[in-house]
Amino acid sequence: MESMISNGRYTPGHMKKIREKAAGKLFKQRPSVEQKVMMSPVSLKWQQEGRLDFHDVLPDGFAARYSKELLVIDAHADQLLNKFVDQVEAGLSQRRGQLNAILYVSDMIQRAFGGLGRKVPEAFQKRIVDLNLRQGDSLLIGELMSGATAGFLGSGMCRHRSLLFKYVVRRLKVCESAAISGVIVPNDCENVSQFRRDNGFADHAWNIVRLNGQNYLLDIMNTPHELQSLNSADGEKVQMKVQGTSYVYYRFDGGSGISLAYSPGAEESSETQTETESLDSEDDLELDPDCYLPQGSGAGEVFCNTTRRAEEILQLQTVGPAGHVMVKFDLRMQGRTWQARKTVHETALRWPSSTGECSLRSCGLHDF
């Protein structure tokens, strides 16, 4: 099945299965790679869903598997990363206002990763060759930045830029940020697979930043010096223009724009409605329930940070391949009752905790 845009929604088709198969093969060949990805709920969420929301915090040790590298963000092991953050922090002291701070961080990241233009992908490929990485080898993000070796100018792709931006702005308390992966294609594109074959690109990653209570799209790979104003609730396409062509952003396995990272303000909750709606629909994904299975809860309830209360699980059953569990529950918020569903892979969800190794049921997984 081809990757398609239909009814304003991107469906990855066979590409999703290809990536899942490749990840499974690598994890089987190198269990240590899977262990690093499963080390934290945030790493696992990026692996499974291709998004990190405003409330998600990249921990030191964050790992993301790609075909070329196992990207690692870890200040404890990466001195080049620490030097970069220190440099950004020093520069921020000379900037006034949150907007200037956001654009300064974005500019510093694009400079550290080789700037803009067609030479960046070529420089990245050369850097990977120079590092002589085997598939699944860890790559500290600092090794892609300028100054990593004598004469090396830096080369980071959109995935490196979006993840580093989220890490830095959180660490330096600049703004709230989400990292989103998906595709960027011309406005009239329907067959994403064909566009990818013809043009050599489609997959993309970008950020959403919150400024003065509003959400803005930031694309550090293409337009690092501007924020694109958005209204996530109206369903309009999120576009950018490059040399006269309008390109549209579609999130991974979802619709255009950033509705999954949108959080309605308190002023929008005055209406009281009783109908039940579904969080599975592309228009309602902005109401992210931010729920997890709390320790010791068994399989009876989920706890939702959004509402600060436990919600009763209506259904918990194994679906699809062994180990995939679907959780279904009602979520009461914004004067409505929303029905949330999420499918997770239970058997692989294990990582160290303060009480020792634990699983999905005993540790809890945000945004399952």
Please list the pLDDT of the chain residue by residue as tens digits (368 residues): 888 888 778 888 777 677 778 878 888 888 888 888 888 889 988 988 888 988 899 999 999 999 889 999 999 999 999 999 999 999 999 999 999 999 999 999 999 999 988 889 999 999 999 999 888 889 999 999 986 565 667 899 999 999 999 999 999 999 999 999 999 999 889 999 999 889 888 999 999 999 988 888 999 999 999 998 765 444 457 777 776 788 888 887 665 544 433 333 323 333 323 333 433 333 333 334 455 555 444 456 666 655 566 666 666 554 444 455 555 666 665 555 655 655 544 433 333 333 333 333 332 322 22
The model scores a pTM over 0.75: no
- For residue 88, which of 112, 108, 110, 60 has the smallest C-alpha distance? 108
Give Cβ neighbours of residue 169 (< 8 Å, ≥ 6 apart).
102, 105, 175, 176, 177, 209
Identify whether the C-beta of residue 313 lies closer than 8 Å to the C-beta of residue 299. Answer: yes
Pair 207, 162: CB distance under 8 Å? yes
CB of 63 closer than 8 Å to CB of 74: no
